[in-house]
Amino acid sequence: MLLVMDVGNTNTVIGVYQDDHILSDWRIRTEKEATVDEFGILLRNLFQSQNLTLEPGTDLIISCVVPPMNNTLEGFAQRYLKVRPLWVGPGIKTGMPIHYDNPREVGADRIVNAVAAYEQVHGSVVVVDFGTATTFDVVSRQGEYLGGVIAPGVMISCEALFIKASKLPRVEIFAKPKSIIAKDTISSMNAGIIYGYVGLVDGIVSRIKEALGDRPKVIATGGLACLIASETKSIDTVDDYLTLKGLKIIYDRNRPRREERGKGGVA
C-alpha cells in the first residue's frame, strides 16, 4: 500500500493506493502546529473511517510547500509507518526537465501536477491549480517544464476584501452568482470574485498560448476548480485527482532506487 500526500498552505490532500487503484482520498486543513502524534491519530482515524489500516511498512511520498511541517511529517512516517518518506524535491527523478532559472524555487506541488498532466496528454499542457495561490504551469510538447504564473488565490482575494474594506462582510464562495448584475452586497462580491477569476484565467491562458505558439490542453485542479472552470472558455477539463496521480507517477519512477536503498529517502 502507498500513501501519497500533498501538503499545501491551506489544505493537505491525501490518497491511498493499492497498486494502481486509489482506495480512498481526503482533503484536510493544514495544521502547521500539529504534533507528530496529533497527525498520526488524525491519519489513523481517517483510515479507520474507510475500513483501512494504517500499517507499518506502508510507503509514503510527500510534496510539501510548508517547511514547518517537514519535521512533523518525517516524525509521523518513522513513528507510525516505520519508514522514511520519499520527498518530492531536488534530486528526485521526475522524468521532466525543469527549465527554470533556479529549479529549487519551483513548488513541489507544481512539478507533481505538471508530471501528471503531461502523462495524460503527452503533448503541450497548461495546469491551472486553484489553491492558496492560483498557479499556471506550462509544459512543452517535449515534456519540459517551462515555467508559469502565480496569482493570488480566490480565498486570499475574498479575505483581502473583508480585511481592507470595513463595511464588506466575509463571504464564502460555494456557487456561481445568479447574475453579473447583483442586487445585494454579498452577491456583488460573489460575482466580482467568480467572474474576476474567470477573466484572469482566460486572459492569462490566452497570453500563455500566444507566447508558446501552440494550442496546449488546459487542465484545472484544486478546491474551487469546478466552480471557476465551468465559467471559463479556456479550461478543457477538471481533474480533482491530478496531484495524487502525479505523486504516484513520481513514486513509481523512483521505486528501483528506493528498493536498492531499502526504506531510506531518495537523495
Catalytic residues: 109
CA distance 11 to 25: 13
Answer for the pair 243, 22: CB distance below 8 angstroms, yes or no: no
